[in-house]
A and B are shown apart, each in its own frame.
Chain A
Amino acid sequence: MNSIWTIARKELSDSLRNRWLIAIALVFAVLALGIAWFGAAASGQVGYASTPATIASLASLGIFLIPLIALLLAYDAIVGEEEGGTLLLLMTYPLSRGQLLFGKFLGHGLTLAFATLIGFGVAGVAIALLVDDVAVGALAAAMFRFIVSTILLGWGFIALAYVISVRVSEKPVAAGLALGIWFFFVLIFDLMLLGTLVASEGKLNPELLPWLLMLNPTDIYRLLNIVAFGEGAQLSGVLSLGADLPIGAAGLWFALVLWFVIPITGAWALFRRRRI
């Protein structure tokens, strides 16, 4: 446990030192406040629209930004150590591969968690203080749900980045593959799903279709933050499939947790087989 914390602590202090943590937090805060203030601009006025609309807009933006940040933060976790020659050295220390990997995960995970908490937390507090007629209770609940799901989504992509990082032997390759993952989950997956729907002309089992959304953590994340507002929530595109899902919010949370547990376990298994 001590070794895991030693590794995590170095990652945390690295991200404080290179100002990643503060930069991410700042980006989140500015985005959240910007969306909160100008979210209603389309309807011709500036000001706070409503909590569900704000969270929905934030979540739509989050699915682009969170995976990208998480992948950038973590893609060189192992391959970077190898290029610097420190991976070989670390493995001669009383430190197992699992301890190294989970220590990295703890460090990167906490970095992202703190940045999210600070960035969106500050924005939430600012909205609560500055907007006159906002229901603070509902806002706090929605913000809390949004922040926790954002952290889980980020962890998922950190874990996916590790799968790459333990597998390849050059940093640029890892960076390219990380971008590929982002591209796939954020841009291509929904298109593919829509394409499949149209091409199958209704022959696909309609029971099965909503479950396909579970194959993409960003879709789970969006569903969680939009569906939570119940009736009246506007689901567009492939997300409308999610309305038919029989698993409810708890199931979505569970799926999002699985989305970081499974890749990190996979990365661990691959790392144990890696030749050093």
Chain B
Amino acid sequence: MSCFRLENVSYRYDKALVLNGVDLRLEPGEILGLFGHNGAGKTTCIKLILGLMTPTQGKLSVLDGEAGDPHVTQHIGYLPENVMFYPQLTGREILNHFARLKGAPLKQVPQLLEQVGLGDAMNARVKTYSKGMRQRLGLAQALLGKPKLLMLDEPTVGLDPVATADLYRLLRKLRDEGTGIVLCSHVLPGVEPYIDRAAILTDGAVKAVGDLASLRRQANMPVTLSIEPANGTSALEKVIADASAGNGLMIKKDNGKLQVDVRPSEKMAMIQALLNSGEVQDLGIHQPTLEDVYVHFIGSGGLAHRGGAQ
């Protein structure tokens, strides 16, 4: 059983093509990061999977059923980006209401509130909640009824670092129990260690998808070596020049250290040459981060590229 499967899905809003031939799938026990600039189609993808809209073209199946079918939506948890909830009700009353709608046992409610750290505040009205507390309430709401598919839109907004770490730990636990999780976020360094795969969307199409290693391969971005010389920089520079066989690598000096960008395929040869030369005191290897890869695929169109409404 797949959590969801989009095959060549397109969606038109009025005349505009919002999604164009998207292929995406999520298996149980996997965390997928969904990234893209504003208006890239993330929200539309999520809404299609939730059954709020139907694709104009292509095939879509969710939990082996049809998106929007009550038997399917019952097993989906969703945290929208901005929920105010009902300010006059207490956290507990709100969660009770949603639990009844979802057909989840009411005894889950205090447990979930405890789990997200709202145990002390559950009987206070939501209008007294801070943004982070509302976010946690939303998270507890998404976890009602032990969902098989969890979709989180910017789950860490308003959360302090400790709460954020708690959240990611919780997501990992759920993943290990077999929940499929979709994570939309703009805080790329934050989510990088926790996602199994990432999908990068631009202009309604999937630009790249895969785990971080495969994304790096697809991007073919240089690896940065940061080298501390043992006997002065000039000797070291010669070693590097020899090893790169006149490829003319960019060498930057920084505080007596050298920074060299090498292509992934030449990385090991360069490291071996450096180590054999005996000119190296210390060596650091910096792989491109998720953020670097993201910027590579999105392109550096600047703000103009990131415009457009959600």
User: Which residues of A approach B to under 8 Å, CB–CB?
Assistant: 2-3, 6-7, 10, 14, 17-18, 83-86, 88-96, 275-276
Contacts and interface: CB of A to CB of B under 8 A. Distances in A.
Contacts of A17: 88
B73 A92 contact: yes
Interface string B220-263: 00000000000000000000000000000000000000000000
Interface stretch (B16-24, B79-87, B113-121): B79-87
A2 B101 CA distance: 8
A84 B83 contact: yes
Nearest to A5: B100
Contacts of A2: 100, 103
B84 A85 contact: yes
Given A6-B101, A93-B101, A95-B101, A88 B70 contact: no
Contacts, number: 60
A79 B78 CA distance: 21
A91 B73 CA distance: 9
Interface size class of B (residues with CB under 8 A): 20 to 34
B103 to A, nearest CB: 7
B297 interface: no
Nearest to B70: A94
Given A85-B80, A92-B76, A93-B102, A6 B97 contact: yes
A92 B97 CA distance: 14
A3 B76 CA distance: 17
B74 interface: yes
A93 B97 contact: no
B86 A86 contact: yes
Given A92-B76, A93-B73, A6 B100 contact: yes
Contacts of B102: 93-94
Given A6-B97, A18-B88, A276-B52, A94 B83 contact: no
Interface of B: 47, 50-53, 70-71, 73-74, 76, 78, 80, 82-86, 88, 97-98, 100-103, 141
A275 B70 CA distance: 19
B83 A89 contact: yes
Given A86-B83, A86-B84, A86-B86, A92 B101 contact: no
A93 B98 contact: yes
A94 B84 contact: no
Contact of B78 (A6, A84, A92): A92
A13 to B, nearest CB: 8
Contact of A84 (B76, B84, B98, B101): B84
Contacts of B78: 89, 92
Contact of A92 (B50, B88, B103): B50
30 contacts: A2-B100, A2-B103, A3-B101, A6-B100, A6-B101, A14-B86, A17-B88, A83-B84, A84-B84, A84-B85, A84-B86, A85-B80, A85-B83, A85-B85, A86-B83, A89-B83, A89-B98, A90-B101, A91-B50, A91-B52, A92-B52, A92-B78, A93-B98, A93-B101, A93-B102, A94-B70, A94-B74, A94-B102, A95-B101, A96-B70
